[in-house]
């Protein structure tokens, strides 16, 4: 589909990708899928998009790719460019976590001969991943990709997807390299020859004050890329917390419920009732379509203007939304606009500033009801489920509480300067700011998309969900009234009656 030029300005980014061969790792992940879709749709003259993929769950790369393209994310692309446009995407069997990327010699030679642009997005984003797995994928995988990049005869740019939350000791993060928490080469060697058990025993000492293996290994990987700045055309992108799509191609779409969306879903189902968090605190969020636009625009910016190598893909210097605002918006959405099916209890609860108070509430409102319901399920002949869910929630809280109760700020002056170099056509096509965002509308789309594509709850079930929500409102009020009456009775019987009786 031809680009609609604004005031006759050309799309130089589209022209840059025309006729180019692009290699993407992590193309089957959340950001990877959105990147593939936007690259094909915004730059239709791209020659080829190669995805480094492995077999998974008994499916070949070709089968996995077919399943991905069958999803709703690619409907707009098929409509605008035709389904044959997807044939530009070619899977290449390999694995970033394996030695030599598990590439065949002929495939490696093919990549070295043809690839001009690399987007290295592959990583494990699990915060509780074992050190060995996180290092082999995030750190050694990056080193192996850099080794491959050195062999590429036509390489124009190597884009490494880092994170704004990998230098947690820096309360203010600038767009510059930072020293790693350890030698990445030494850590790689240790993880290659040490057993999983030994590594697990020394992980706390290796991490030091870094809270998880994700932040640790992403900092190591970033340092490997920064070390090559004098040798290779490398770029580092540091997105903050990546949220579902804001504008296009499918508002609210995501393939996971990490981050705020997961909290909204958990609260909307009535299973999250308390959080330890400063309500007026804020985190830094970036919708995935904005982050992907930055990936494409920064590639063009680095190659042609040669002024920037590190981009903080962050938003808090321009827009801030507090945790309390998110919770209030989410409550309005799941209570009235888009209730979820089969809620366990009427949504409620609150954020607690005091950790001890939060733990008491967690025991009262999470653990005790879970034990009661699981016992009832066992008596009825079903498997218990709620305690397992609450253990996962408790684990998620450990991660959330660290980030929610600490504050970081991100400077992105260089990235803001790069925006000014975009012409009107490019600013419209690769939107990089949050101008025009309506938070309530955005999170409504997020919850709606999560209903459809994560929870598989269709729109025709909404009337029943609303009726169930009204029933749960009455149940919630009746139970609270009975509990209050019970406390008043006990207060009267054991305190007032002995004194005045």
pLDDT digits (tens, 9 = 90+) for 376-412: 889 988 888 888 888 888 888 888 888 888 889 999 9
Q: What is the distance, to the nearest Å, from the Cα of residue 267 to the centroid of all Cα atoms in its chain?
A: 19
Do 218 and 176 share a structural domain? yes
Query: Is the model's pLDDT at 260 over the cut of 80?
Result: no
Do 470 and 384 share a structural domain? yes
How far is Cα 444 from Cα 238, in angstroms, rounded to an integer? 27
Is 264 among the domain residues?
A: no
Model confidence pLDDT, tens digit, residues 65-84:
999 999 999 999 999 999 99
- pLDDT band, residue 125 (cuts 50/70/90): confident
Instruction: Return the half-sphere exposure (C-beta side, CA atoms, 13 A cut-off) of residue 118.
Output: 31
Query: Is the model's pLDDT at 239 over the cut of 60?
Result: yes
The distance between the two most distant Cα atoms of the chain, rounded to a whole number of Å, is 95
Do 209 and 87 share a structural domain? yes
Do 102 and 140 share a structural domain? yes
Find the DSSP H helices in 104-212. Answer: 105-114, 131-134, 141-151, 184-193, 196-207
CA distances in angstroms from 59 to 65, 66, 79, 93, 367, listed in the order given: 10, 10, 27, 12, 39
Do 242 and 371 share a structural domain? no
Model confidence pLDDT, tens digit, residues 281-299:
888 899 999 999 999 999 9
Residues 6+ apart with CB under 8 A from 329: 439, 440, 443
Query: Is the model's pLDDT at 1 over the cut of 60?
Result: no
- The pLDDT value recorded for residue 318 is 83
Do 205 and 317 share a structural domain? yes
Is 414 among the domain residues?
A: yes
Do 188 and 162 share a structural domain? yes
| Total domains present in the chain | 2
- For residue 137, which of 54, 198, 59 has the smallest C-alpha distance? 54
Do 311 and 290 share a structural domain? yes
Contact present, 367 and 271 (Cβ < 8 Å)? no
Is 265 among the domain residues?
A: no
Is 258 among the domain residues?
A: no
- pLDDT band, residue 4 (cuts 50/70/90): low
Residue 423 belongs to a domain with what CATH number?
Answer: 3.40.50.720
- The pLDDT value recorded for residue 256 is 86
Query: Is the model's pLDDT at 345 over the cut of 60?
Result: yes
| Lowest-confidence region among 75-79, 103-107, 144-148, 491-495 | 491-495
Is 261 among the domain residues?
A: no
* pLDDT, greater one: 280 or 62: 62
Residue 350 burial (CB count, 10 A): 14
Residue 191 burial (CB count, 10 A): 21
Do 114 and 21 share a structural domain? yes
Contact present, 447 and 334 (Cβ < 8 Å)? yes
Is 448 among the domain residues?
A: no
- pLDDT band, residue 308 (cuts 50/70/90): confident
Is 260 among the domain residues?
A: no
Average pLDDT over residues 93-122: 95
Do 327 and 311 share a structural domain? no
Do 303 and 359 share a structural domain? no
Is 1 among the domain residues?
A: no
- The pLDDT value recorded for residue 3 is 62
Host domain of residue 461: 323-404+456-500
- pLDDT band, residue 476 (cuts 50/70/90): confident
Per-residue buried b or exposed e for 259-297, using 16+ beta carbons within 10 Å of the residue's own CB: bbbbbbbbbbbbbbbbbbbbbebbbbbbbbbbbbbbbbb
CA distances in angstroms from 94 to 62, 64, 301, listed in the order given: 12, 14, 30
Do 433 and 399 share a structural domain? no
- The pLDDT value recorded for residue 120 is 97
């Amino acid at each position: 589909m031809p680009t609609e030029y604004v005031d006759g300005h050309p799309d130089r980014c589209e022209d840059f990708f025309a006729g180019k061969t692009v290699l993407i790792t992590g193309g089957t992940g959340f950001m990877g899928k959105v990147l593939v879709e936007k690259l094909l749709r915004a730059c239709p003259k791209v020659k080829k998009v190669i995805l480094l993929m492995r077999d998974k769950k008994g499916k070949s790369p070709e089968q996995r790719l077919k399943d991905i393209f069958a999803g709703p994310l690619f409907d707009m692309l098929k409509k605008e460019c035709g389904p044959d446009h997807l044939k530009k995407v070619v899977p290449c069997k390999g694995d970033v976590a394996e030695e030599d990327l598990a590439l065949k010699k002929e495939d490696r030679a093919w990549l070295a001969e043809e690839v001009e642009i690399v987007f290295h997005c592959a990583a494990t984003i699990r915060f509780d991943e074992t050190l060995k797995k996180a290092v082999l994928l995030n750190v050694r995988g990056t080193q192996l990709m850099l080794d491959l990049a050195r062999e590429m005869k036509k390489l124009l740019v190597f884009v490494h997807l880092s994170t704004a939350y990998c230098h947690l000791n820096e309360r203010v993060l600038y767009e510059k390299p930072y020293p790693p928490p350890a030698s990445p080469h030494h850590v790689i060697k240790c993880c290659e020859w040490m057993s999983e058990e030994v590594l697990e025993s020394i992980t706390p000492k290796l991490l030091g004050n870094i809270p998880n293996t994700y932040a640790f290994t992403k900092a190591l990987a970033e340092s490997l890329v920064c070390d090559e700045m004098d040798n290779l055309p490398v770029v580092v992108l540091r997105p903050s917390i990546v949220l579902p799509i804001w504008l296009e191609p499918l508002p609210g779409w995501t393939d996971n419920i990490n981050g705020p969306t997961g909290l909204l879903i958990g609260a909307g189902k009535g299973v999250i009732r308390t959080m330890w968090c400063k309500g007026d605190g804020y985190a830094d969020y970036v919708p995935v379509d904005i982050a992907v636009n930055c990936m494409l625009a920064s590639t063009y910016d680095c190659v042609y203007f040669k002024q920037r190598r590190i981009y903080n893909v962050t938003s808090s210097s321009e827009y801030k939304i507090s945790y309390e605002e998110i919770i209030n918006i989410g409550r309005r959405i799941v209570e009235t606009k888009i209730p979820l099916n089969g809620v366990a209890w009427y949504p409620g609860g609150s954020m607690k500033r005091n950790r001890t108070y939060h733990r008491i509430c967690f025991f009262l409102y999470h653990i005790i009801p879970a034990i009661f319901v699981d016992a009832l399920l066992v008596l009825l002949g079903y498997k218990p489920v709620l305690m397992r869910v609450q253990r996962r929630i408790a684990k998620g809280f450990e991660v959330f509480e660290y980030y929610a109760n600490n504050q970081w700020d991100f400077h992105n002056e260089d990235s803001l300067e790069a925006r000014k170099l975009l012409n009107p056509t490019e600013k419209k096509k690769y939107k990089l700011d949050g101008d025009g965002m309506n938070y309530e509308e955005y999170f409504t789309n997020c919850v709606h998309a999560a209903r459809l594509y994560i929870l598989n709850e269709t729109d025709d079930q909404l009337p029943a969900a609303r009726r169930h929500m009204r029933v749960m409102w009455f149940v919630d009020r009746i139970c609270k009234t009975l509990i209050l009456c019970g406390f008043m009775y006990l207060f009267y019987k054991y305190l007032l009656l002995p004194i005045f009786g």
